[in-house]
Amino acid sequence: MSFLPKTHAKSIGRSRAFNKEMTSSPDILLEKISSNLDRMFDTLSYKHYEIRNISLLLIQKNWAHQKLSYEFESYTHDRKVIFQQLKKIFYDIYIPGELYRKT
């Protein structure tokens, strides 16, 4: 048994709940996702990580959720490429008019 620290993370989760500000606006939701991405990039930059896949989870007012993942062809830390893919995923799972409480 070893108690040494891990050499690398298997995943980096970044999410935010906004229960008092639930919204169905795609612009506001993408703003929240962008904020989460900024927080993730702080970790990527600090630890010199790259990612191979990314997942997006949207949680509705009634706690139902949609999740979709994407695997890049190679490891990357290009924020623009990652955000463009997140936007594609977002529009694949976003339901217009549905209230969302968490990204």
| Domains of the chain with bracketed CATH | 27-102 (3.30.1490.100)
Q: Higher-confidence residue: 78 or 16?
A: 78
Judged against a pLDDT cut of 50, whether residue 81 lies above it is answered with: yes
Q: What mean pLDDT is predicted for residues 48-77?
A: 90
Q: What single string gives the DSSP state of each residue in 15-51?
A: --B-GGG-B--HHHHHHHHHHHHHHHHHHHHHHT--E
User: What is the distance between the alpha carbons of residues 54 and 70, in angstroms, rounded to a whole number?
Assistant: 5
Tokens of 10: 């298997």
Spatial separation of the C-alpha atoms in residues 18 and 41, rounded to whole Å? 21
Average pLDDT over residues 55-78: 91
- Predicted confidence (pLDDT) at residue 5 exceeds the cutoff of 60: no
Q: What is the pLDDT of residue 4?
A: 43
Query: What pTM does this model have?
Result: 0.78
